[in-house]
Amino acid sequence: MSTPTPPAASAYSRTNPFPAKMTENYPLTKPGSNKETRHMVINIDGSGYTYTVGDSLAVYPRNRPEIVDQIIEILGFDANEIIPLQGGAQKTLKAALTENFALNRVNKKFVRLHVEKLPDGDFKDKLSIILADETELENFVYSRDYIDVLIEFPGGKWTAADFVATLMRSNPRLYSIASSPDAHPGEVHLTVAVVQYTTHNRKKYGLASGFLANNVTLGENNVLTYITPTKHFHLPPGDTPLIMVGPGTGIAPFRAFLEQREFNGDKGKNWLFFGDQRRSTDFLYEEQFENWLKTGLLTKLTTAFSRDQAEKIYVQHRMIQEGAELWQWLQEGAYFCVCGDAKHMAKDVNKALIEIARAHGGYSEEEATKYIEVTLAKTEKRYLKDVY
């Protein structure tokens, strides 16, 4: 039996990203939702990229044109001035501010230099007081971008080169891929929560999500991308039971997992836990998941909509309610996969797993913790996380 030839490496990478085009961009949340979550389709034909479910797509964001134009106007810069960049590259100031730097939150370095560039007077005095207290400075930069500071403390005399030297480089944002490469050849699907908020009387967007939602023209090759392979978040063997916990945009890789299992004709049972705020407005991919329930691809779908009742119910509460059956699946060899918020959700899910092991496995608290965090996660490698 001959060994299959591995695919040739792509000429594109983190240092040479592929200019992909977005072909679809539509809301998954419905009117009345407190959120805006969108489904986006990125065409990667011609990239040479290959990916497997569990991988991520990295996107280099760009700043919104109106932000760049306003900074240039306030500081009296020439948009066409040539700016040297790291590695010997050069760009116009406007292009550099659009593509290379993060302008969505001001940094302390800029604030400390800005006070020196202000003329003597009330503005300089007021900003000096803020700079004298580190806690005050932390709070100051947390909610402000560069335009906020330039409006609040006007009159600073900057050169374009000095201004650019204070800026943080714009880093790529990783999105868990929400599609199977076999179900959607030449495409990568993303599930993007659009970060938007208002501070200091100005509406603002997250750097990457705002770019993807509002500043990408469909059909143009203007989304710089590369694939980030997963090291530990793989789809288990096809006959293996699979439990997936993916609230909010954490659903993304599990849509991919299920598409791949459907394409493969895998026979393993699939149980999905999904949660968000309201069923009527925030049930992402509802039609697709309900259809998979009907076809039998999804053995079980358990939902937790936190604001549909007086008491907030989250996925970890549903896990405990279904604890006896969940424990039985684990004893049958099921893999347990979780994706989403690392700070709160993933920790709460871990605690729920330990509680289930204690309640239904007859373990002490210490034994249950060891079973979940050592045996299941490290020894058997059946507890997989994609958390951020």
CB half-sphere exposure, 83, CA atoms < 13 A = 24
Q: What pLDDT, in 10s, does the model give residues 290-305?
A: 999 999 999 999 999 9
Q: What pLDDT, in 10s, does the model give residues 59-79?
A: 999 999 999 999 999 999 999
Q: State the chain's maximal CA–CA distance in angstroms.
A: 81
Looking at the DSSP bridge assignments, the partners of residue 271 are: 243, 300
Structure tokens belonging to residue 118: 């202000």
Considering only CA atoms, which of 11, 9, 15 is closest in space to residue 50? 9
Looking at the DSSP bridge assignments, the partners of residue 77 are: none
The answer for residues whose C-beta is within 8 angstroms of residue 352's C-beta and 6 or more apart is 316, 317, 319, 320
- The yes-or-no verdict on residue 348 having pLDDT over 70 is yes
The mean-pLDDT minimum among 8-22, 75-89, 281-295 falls in: 8-22
Domains and their CATH numbers in the chain = 18-59+172-228 (2.40.30.10), 65-166 (1.20.990.10), 242-387 (3.40.50.80)
Are 211 and 196 in contact by the 8 Å Cβ rule? The answer is no
Predicted confidence band of residue 235 (pLDDT cuts 50, 70, 90): very high
Q: What pLDDT, in 10s, does the model give residues 240-255?
A: 999 999 999 999 999 9
pLDDT of residue 86: 85
pLDDT of residue 11: 87
Give, in order, the Cα–Cα distances in Å from 138 to each of 35, 103, 131, 141, 302: 27, 17, 9, 6, 41
Are 246 and 338 in contact by the 8 Å Cβ rule? The answer is yes
Structure tokens belonging to residue 319: 């896990």
**E-state strands within the chain:** 18-27, 37-43, 56-59, 82-84, 90-92, 173-176, 187-193, 196-199, 202-205, 221-228, 242-245, 270-276, 300-305, 335-340, 383-387
Are 334 and 300 in contact by the 8 Å Cβ rule? The answer is no
CA gap 207, 61 in Å, rounded: 6
CA gap 143, 149 in Å, rounded: 10
- The yes-or-no verdict on residue 289 having pLDDT over 90 is yes
pLDDT of residue 7: 53
The answer for residues whose C-beta is within 8 angstroms of residue 220's C-beta and 6 or more apart is 21
% of the chain residues with pLDDT over 70: 98
Give, in order, the Cα–Cα distances in Å from 362 to each of 320, 359, 368: 15, 6, 8
Helix or strand or coil: residue 273? strand
- The yes-or-no verdict on residue 6 having pLDDT over 60 is no
Average pLDDT over residues 231-240: 96
pLDDT of residue 241: 98
Are 251 and 257 in contact by the 8 Å Cβ rule? The answer is no
CA gap 323, 128 in Å, rounded: 57
pLDDT of residue 3: 47
Q: What pLDDT, in 10s, does the model give residues 84-140?
A: 998 888 999 999 999 999 999 999 999 999 999 999 999 999 999 999 999 999 999
Q: What's the pTM value of the predicted model, to 2 decimals?
A: 0.93
Q: Calculate the average pLDDT of the chain.
A: 96
% of the chain residues with pLDDT over 90: 95
Average pLDDT over residues 340-367: 97
Average pLDDT over residues 28-50: 97
Average pLDDT over residues 215-239: 95
- The yes-or-no verdict on residue 4 having pLDDT over 60 is no
* Rg of the Cα atoms in the chain: 24
Residue 197: phi and psi, rounded to 5, are -160, 170
The answer for residues whose C-beta is within 8 angstroms of residue 292's C-beta and 6 or more apart is 258, 262, 270, 298
Q: How many residues in the chain?
A: 388
